[in-house]
């Protein structure tokens, strides 16, 4: 857990925006403060009844001074643990029980939740801010690791739909666009902007989410998703 003050990035970024020296985008460690963490056993309840004995399955634990996670009591290490699935009502509590103690006559061991189904495609409107001023190039498609097909287009930064609600002046838009182009030109995507963690492994993005701008749109343009659907449709 790391806290950052304005000295970490805000002040250098603001100075650059106002005509000062270029800002690298990297967080200055002099503006960082690492919090010493402590943990305590979490409390769980269901329908206002406290769930007890969860700590027999897992508990929270600190790993060094600055990180915390779950400690599984079944010996699980560096992989997925198994959360409790079965409980019995005792007094005013719900008590965790292993599957071996679930009475067969309850039928619970054979019950399965209905699997989720593919929803209707998400699609953006085909008018208004999505088309005026509209994209500079597209549409393009990419298939993600979850099996969905994503459609996207490239918009000039100040032309992206979410900004059209503000009705900015042409002067203000031009100033913002020019500054964003400076950022794109000076901040590569393969640089560490925040210091990497001292331990553990960072989550990874689906590689398909990292798209390459068309020639000529490398600076000052952003990809905006306009549709997501089941790739098997």
Secondary structure (H, E, C), the chain = CEEECCCCCHHHHHHHHCCCCCCCCCCCHHHEEECCCCCCCCCEEECCEEEECHHHCEEEEECCCCCEEEEECCCCCCCCCCCCCEEEEECCEEEEECHHHCCHHHCHHHCCCCCCCCCCCEECCCCHHHCCCCCCEEEEEEECCCCEEEEEEEEEHHHCHHHHHHCCCHHHHHHHHHHHHHHHHHCCCCCCCCCCCCCCCCCCCCHHHCCCCCCCCCCCEEEEEEEEEECCC
What is the predicted pLDDT for the residue at 233?
Answer: 67
Contact 124, 229 (CB under 8 A): no
Residues 94 and 124 in one domain: no
Residues 151 and 196 in one domain: yes
Residue 25 resides in a domain: no
- What domain range includes position 151? 118-230
Residues 180 and 102 in one domain: no
Residue 89 resides in a domain: yes
Residue 31 resides in a domain: no
Residue 80 resides in a domain: yes
Question: Among 81, 89, 82, which residue's Cα sits nearest to residue 45?
Answer: 89
Residues 73 and 151 in one domain: no
What is the predicted pLDDT for the residue at 78?
Answer: 76
Residue 172 resides in a domain: yes
Question: pLDDT in tens for each of the 233 residues of the chain?
Answer: 889 999 999 999 999 999 999 999 999 999 999 888 899 999 999 888 999 989 888 999 998 887 888 899 888 887 888 889 999 999 999 999 989 999 999 999 998 889 888 889 999 999 999 999 999 999 999 999 999 999 999 999 999 999 999 999 999 999 999 999 999 999 999 999 998 887 777 888 999 999 999 999 999 999 999 999 998 86
In sequence order, the 6+-apart residues with CB closer than 8 A to the CB of 53 are 95, 96
Residues 102 and 160 in one domain: no
> How crowded is the C-beta side of 10, counted as CA atoms within 13 Å?
6
Residues 157 and 93 in one domain: no
Q: What are phi and psi of 122, to 5 degrees?
A: -85, 130
Residue 5 resides in a domain: no
Residues 128 and 215 in one domain: yes
What is the predicted pLDDT for the residue at 76?
Answer: 83
Residue 155 resides in a domain: yes
Task: Name the domain count of the chain.
Answer: 2
Residues 99 and 192 in one domain: no
Residues 136 and 223 in one domain: yes
Q: Looking at 88, 110, 132, which one is the last position of a domain?
A: 110
Residues 222 and 131 in one domain: yes
The pair of structure tokens assigned to 92 is: 């005013």
Residues 164 and 224 in one domain: yes
Residue 4 resides in a domain: no
Q: Looking at 59, 77, 110, which one is the last position of a domain?
A: 110
Residues 93 and 141 in one domain: no
């Amino acid at each position: 857990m790391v806290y950052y003050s304005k000295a970490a990035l805000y002040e250098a970024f603001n100075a650059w925006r106002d005509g000062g020296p270029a800002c690298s985008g990297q967080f200055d460690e002099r503006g960082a403060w690492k919090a010493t963490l402590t943990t305590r056993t979490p409390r769980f309840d269901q329908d206002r009844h406290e769930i007890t004995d969860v700590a027999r399955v897992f508990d929270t634990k600190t790993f060094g001074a600055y990180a915390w996670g779950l400690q599984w009591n079944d010996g699980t290490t560096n992989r997925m643990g198994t959360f409790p699935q079965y409980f019995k009502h005792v007094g005013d509590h719900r008590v965790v029980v292993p599957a071996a103690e679930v009475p067969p006559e309850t039928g619970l061991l054979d019950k399965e939740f209905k699997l989720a189904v593919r929803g209707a495609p998400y699609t953006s409107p085909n008018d208004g801010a999505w088309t005026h001023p509209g994209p500079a190039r597209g549409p393009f498609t990419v298939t993600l690791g979850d099996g969905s097909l994503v459609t996207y287009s490239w918009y000039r930064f100040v032309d992206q739909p979410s900004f059209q609600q503000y009705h900015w002046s042409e002067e203000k838009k031009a100033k913002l666009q020019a500054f964003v182009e400076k950022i794109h030109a000076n901040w590569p995507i393969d640089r560490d902007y925040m210091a990497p963690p001292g331990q553990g492994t960072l989550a990874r993005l689906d590689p398909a989410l990292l798209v390459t701008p068309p020639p000529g749109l490398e600076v000052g343009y952003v990809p905006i998703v306009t549709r997501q659907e089941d790739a098997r449709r």
